Amino acid sequence: MPNDAPRAHAGHESLYGSPGGARRGCVSGPGANLGPGARWRHQDQEEKARRLRSAFVAMYGEDAGCGEILVVRAPGRVNLIGEHTDYNEGFVLPAAIDRDVTIAVRGRRDGIVRVHSLNYGESVKFALDHISYDHDHPWSNYVRGTLKVLADSGAPLRGMDMVVAGDVPAGAGLSSSAALEVATAVAARAVAGFDLEGRDMALKCQRAENSFVGVNCGIMDQFASVLGKAGHALFIDCRTYECEPVPLPEEYCIVICDSGVRRGLQDSAYNLRCSQCEEAVRLLRRHIADIRTLRDVLPEELPDVERRLPEALRARARHVVLENDRVERSVDALRSGRVDEFGRLMVDSHASLRDLYEVSCPELDAMVEVALAIPGVAGARMTGAGFGGCTVNLVHEDAVDEFQRTVLARYLCKVNPSRLSLEPQVYVCRAEDGAGVVPLQPCERDKGQRVPPPPGAVF
């Protein structure tokens, strides 16, 4: 997602890990050789929430007479297959992951919102009745935009004090911005007590990113963050908004490889790809009266469709049409336990994104090539908008340790280090539940004692 969401940089990890930026070859996840900061990332969700609550007390005080301190979370997501289909009203298959944006929040008696970002070490303050774009603190625009959309829709918002922390790598294609938007919406709902069901929440968060931040994203990121289910991917129809959980194979792990290459959606060709798809549909309407988006083109209709489009639009349309078909075939394969078939579809998806949609880059291609050469890898592909970011790999649990030991070393032998903005990393993830309030049980530590931060934390 946009690289002005909470991001990884020197000293950024705060509540979730050690400062000083990423380390070459750093891995996180089950079986990894983790330092104390990385181990924190996988501690119990309630313990993480307690530490964020402690940071909130340090920032704003224990009792302002405005209600209890709540902690909410919203996960990032990895898209297993179905790339650049969401804004074409097609099909996608993401999974919410166990990396998230967490917010400690308390209501206020006035209409003021104060937000402190632990990732940035910055604070902002604004009024709910005058929400404007902040060029000096662009990370805050995901919070501002979400609250503005909620206010414009008539939600009875309250002023809030908020402390935000996140460990979703920004610019990596894991939806850090959607996680921040969704966490903000959950926080606002929890504080003010208004009704906002999951799909409506996701759509309002998407509108915030489209209209306030200025990125023409589809619905996938916000839907996955709101509606994710542990142990499952989420099959989403981006036209009807119907969602179905799809069980993931228990003996395989989702392993995300961060290439270290970063891009911002506004500065990339993302919006150009959106407009190219719209232009292809405009041209096809001369011959296909009932076409609304490229989702309406079937694979068997491609020969006729392609001869009516110029070369670039022909390639974009071919990717979208066949990618939708791959998603449907993937859902069937996963439900039937045909993991190898799903893996082959992942590989085909990457080739299409590289050759037809032209959103890959040499580093992503190298990471996929290296991964597929390691035994136990069923499939690999770039994930996210492209032009940098991450690959997603389906790795048998018995092969995860070997994968972690070898993939980055082989990758770094194939790429130009000067092109890397950050150190490449590997994240072993699990499919996680969607956003919500983190329940906190009373304990002795809450009685006037401050909970110490994790080792190396920055507050």
Is 202:419 a contact under the CB 8 Å cutoff? Answer: no
Is 397:253 a contact under the CB 8 Å cutoff? Answer: yes
Residues near 335 by Cβ (< 8 Å), separated by ≥ 6? 246, 247
Phi-psi map region of 214: left, alpha, beta (phi>0 left; psi -120 to 50 alpha): left
Catalytic residue among 221, 296, 304, 355: 221
Distances (CA, A) of 25 to 54, 259, 404, 429: 31, 11, 9, 17
Is 163:69 a contact under the CB 8 Å cutoff? Answer: no
Residues near 328 by Cβ (< 8 Å), separated by ≥ 6? 91
**Cα 96 to Cα 443: distance, rounded to the nearest angstrom:** 30
DSSP conformation class of 215: -
Indicate the helix (H) or strand (E) that contains 105. Answer: strand 91-107
Residues near 104 by Cβ (< 8 Å), separated by ≥ 6? 49, 52, 53, 55, 56, 69, 70, 71, 162, 163
Q: Is 296 marked active-site?
A: no
Per DSSP, the residues of 356-369 read: TS----HHHHHHHH
Bridge partners of 254, per DSSP, are 394, 429
Q: Which two tokens stand for residue 359?
A: 């959103």
Q: In terms of residues, how long is the chain?
A: 459
**Cα 17 to Cα 112: distance, rounded to the nearest angstrom:** 31
**Cα 414 to Cα 155: distance, rounded to the nearest angstrom:** 52
Which residue bears the tokens 């110490």? 452
Residues labelled as active-site residues: 221
